Amino acid sequence: MSFSFQVLTQEQAEEIAYRWQYEEPYAFYNMDADEEDLHDFLDPQKRGSTIYAVMQGRDLYAFFSIERVGQEMYEIGLGMKPEHTGRGGGKAFIRAIVDYVVSSYSPAKLTLSVATFNQRAIHVYRQNGFVDRNVFMQKTNGDVYEFLRMERWLTDKAEI
């Protein structure tokens, strides 16, 4: 699979927010499941240039966000178009994002958080070198949910 990356446009943000609908139990990830997240995602000022469209040819395949959270450490968040989930493309997709982030930001470590029920995603992250860090509770979508923080070291540095 070949992917390209570009800063997410308003049109793409609206497509994701209003047309990407996941089936249960993944409906948790629908943008309209959390009004505050939806508002922030659709606001170009808040979105800034830290959310990228992941393109496969002319198809909006996925998106990811990146945020610097420490010295040489970045947190990523991501979402794949519902029609592409569960079809075996996750490993290549995550590898492409990691490669892009490494070449563009030169991090020593990447972190991400995933709802613990999403064993499908956790498996793909582990296949791409992410390891479990800790479990925590987070308020979102009108309730409190359990999440797993994962990390992947990209250098031989012991701690950041």
pLDDT for 156: 62
pLDDT for 160: 43
This prediction has a pTM of 0.91
pLDDT for 155: 78
| Cβ neighbour number for residue 50 with a 10 Å cutoff | 15
pLDDT for 143: 86
Burial class (CB in 10 A: 0-12, 13-18, 19+), 97: buried
pLDDT for 142: 82
pLDDT for 54: 97
> Which position has the token pair 């982030």?
101
Mean pLDDT by 10 residues, the chain (160 residues): 94 97 93 91 94 96 96 95 93 96 96 97 97 96 93 72
106: alpha, beta or left? (left if phi > 0; alpha if psi -120 to 50): left
**What's the CATH fold of domain 4-153?**
Aminopeptidase (3.40.630)
Rg (CA), the chain: 15
CA distances from 37 to 42, 55, 110 (A): 9, 23, 22
